[in-house]
Amino acid sequence: MSELHTKTLTELAGLLQDGTVTVTEAVEACLSRIEATEPSVRALITVTADEARTQAAAMDAQGPDPAKPLWGVPVVLKDLLTTRGTRTTCASKILENFVPFYDATSVTRLREAGAVVIGKANMDEFAMGSSTENSAFFQTGNPWDVERVPGGSSGGSGASVAAGQCFAALGTDTGGSIRLPASFCGIVGLKPTYGRVSRYGLIAYGSSLDQIGPMTRSVEDAARVLQVIAGHDPRDSTSVDVPVPDYLSGLGRESLDGVTIGLPREYWGEGLDPEVEAACRAAVAKAEALGATTVPVSLSLTDYAIATYYIIAMAEASSNLSRFDGVRFGHRSEGAEELIDMYTASRTEGFGDEVQRRIIMGTYVLSSGYYDAYYNKAAKVRRLLRQDFDTALTQCDLIAGPVCPTTAFKAGAKADPLQMYLMDIFTISLNLAGLPGMSLPVGLGSDSGMPVGLQLMGRPFEEATMLSVAACLECNLDPMPQPAL
Ligand code: GLN
């Protein structure tokens, strides 16, 4: 079974259930893949090999459990999801040695469904970034070309899935951090509707924007993971109590007859790399050939999305990160004599540059005198952006566009933070509106040879529609190759 890592989660889950593969074999296949690829990819901050092996042996002794849809499936978690007894760092020095005493709800649900956690993935520190270069520990390479970034902030999760180190990973998406690395790494990444998946145990960045979602090698795999993690949680007051549909039942469709796809003109024009545009247009043409109708729509406030998002995200971050004071959590500076000095020194030593920049900016936009000019204004634009989406989604079932203007860039190429923020132009509006979206790999760019993702965006809680259209497209597009690692 040396090729086990090339299988999808769906295939592996079947082999585990019918006893063709043992959990130990699945875990060992992932651990050897990690050993072979980590020297160049560096996707993982922590590998939980011992725990995974012990758990695998115990599960094999019991035998397959058909009631557990992910029985024996090795998974990776972004390192901002709390894991009981396993270090959870947010890729930050301030939490370098933080060992939580509870699991995040999404992690509990994965474990209850039989999944085996084999590692915690690298990320931009506190999920702030678009390339995973902001990790305080090390950079992650894109499995397609390790000189290039895997995207961010869930870059470790994306790279791990693409490199075949695991069969699914969880990421989080505050402004694109699932969709962007999925696009850059050539895998499927889904950001659910705000409130669809519990955020309990997710170390918060922008609480009104963050959502946890699956990153996988196929659409069906994403549906299976979402099925497990979705649903109301009394421990998260923003999780919504609406029934979770059967995401798998809609997947077999053979045509896209009756589906209307909106193409926002603001997403298909200026600034889009020709190779990205070509690959995305070819995928849309395939959707049309399969029976879908396309209509032009407008997301007219797209130009304001970056400013709006960064004001709101930084404001929320400055508040969320105030808990890291060197007293209750994480790193404490030695040697400060006074309490205030100790706070200052702990935070100065513990937080990286990008995190400090955002805390300063966030505090500024929330300060009296500037609150109305910035934060309040941004909150109003946010409401208008949602109206834009609502209007567009009365004209179509789904909106389609690129995930990012470019394919994966070289590490170090976007040293200017503002250049980096521009990478989020097509992803952040969706978070401000709270709607679901996903990235579907649609081929390789003709210049760079790097993966291109098509973004699908849907109505609230209509992940099932998005998944069924994506699955039909996936099945009819040329199969996505795997990186030659
Ligand atoms: N790149 C965006 C930011 O830095 C989005 C990150 C995310 O979705 N976590 O805020």
Dump pLDDT digits (tens) for 140-157. 999 999 999 999 999 999
How much is the pLDDT for 329? 80
Q: Tens digits of per-residue pLDDT, 382-427? A: 999 999 999 999 999 999 999 999 999 999 999 999 999 999 999 9
Indicate the Cα dihedral angle 385, 390, 394, 395, nearest 10°. Answer: 20
- What is the pLDDT, as a whole number, of residue 479? 93
String of b and e for 307-327 (b: at least 16 CB within 10 Å)? ebbbbbbbbbbbbbbeebbbe
**CA 292 to centroid of ligand 1, rounded, Å:** 32
Q: In sequence order, what DSSP letters do the residues of 10-57 get, joined into one string?
A: HHHHHHHHTTSS-HHHHHHHHHHHHHHHHHHH--EEEE-HHHHHHHHH
Contacts of 296 (CB under 8 A, 6+ apart): 262, 263, 264, 265
Mean per-residue pLDDT over the chain, rounded: 97
**For the chain, what's the residue count?**
485
pLDDT along the chain (485 residues), means of 10: 87 98 98 98 98 98 98 98 98 96 98 98 98 98 98 98 98 98 98 98 97 98 98 98 96 97 95 96 98 98 96 97 90 90 94 97 94 95 98 98 98 94 96 98 97 98 98 96 90
Ligand 1 pocket test, candidate residues 130, 420, 421, 426, most atoms within 8 A of CB:
130
CB-CB contact of 158 with 400 (8 Å): no
Which pLDDT belongs to residue 189?
A: 98
User: Where does 169-241 have alpha helices with state H?
Assistant: 179-185, 219-229
Q: Which residues are catalytic?
A: 78, 153, 177
Residues whose beta carbon lies within 6 Å of some atom of ligand 1: 127-130, 153, 173-177, 205, 313, 424
Q: Which pLDDT score is estimated for 83?
A: 98
Q: Number of H helices and number of E strands within the chain? A: 15, 11
Q: What is the pLDDT, as a whole number, of residue 2?
A: 62
Query: Ligand 1 pocket: which of 123, 153, 358 to mutate (most atoms <8 Å of CB)?
Result: 153
Give pLDDT, residue 1.
Answer: 54
What's the gap in Å between 239 CA and the centre of ligand 1?
A: 21
- What pLDDT score was predicted for residue 328? 85
| Ligand 1 center to 472 CA (angstroms) | 29
Contacts of residue 340, defined as CB under 8 A and 6 or more positions apart, other chains included, come to none
Q: How far is the CA of 309 from the centre of ligand 1 (A)?
A: 9
Cα distance between residue 315 and residue 295, in whole Å: 36
- The ranges assigned to domains in the chain are 4-248
Give the closest residue to 430 by CA, choosing from 452, 396, 453, 403: 403
Fold of 4-248: Amidase signature (AS) enzymes (3.90.1300)
The DSSP letter of residue 373 is I
Residue 202: strand, helix, or coil: strand
Mutate to test the pocket of ligand 1, among 203, 211, 424 (most ligand atoms within 8 A of CB): 424
Give the number of other CB atoms < 10 A from CB of residue 302.
Answer: 20
Angle between helices 23-41 and 9-17 (to 10 degrees): 150
According to the model, what pLDDT value does residue 330 have?
A: 83
* Confidence (pTM): 0.98
Residue 457, H or E segment: strand 451-458
Q: Please give the number of the atom of ligand 1 that sits closest to the Cα of 313.
A: 10
- CB distance 118 to 49 below 8 Å: yes
Give the position, in ligand 1's atom list, of the atom nearest the Cα of 354.
4
Residue 122 Cα to ligand 1 midpoint, Å, equals: 14
**Nearest-angstrom CA–CA distance, 212 and 195:** 10
Distance between CA 7 and CA 82 in Å, rounded? 28
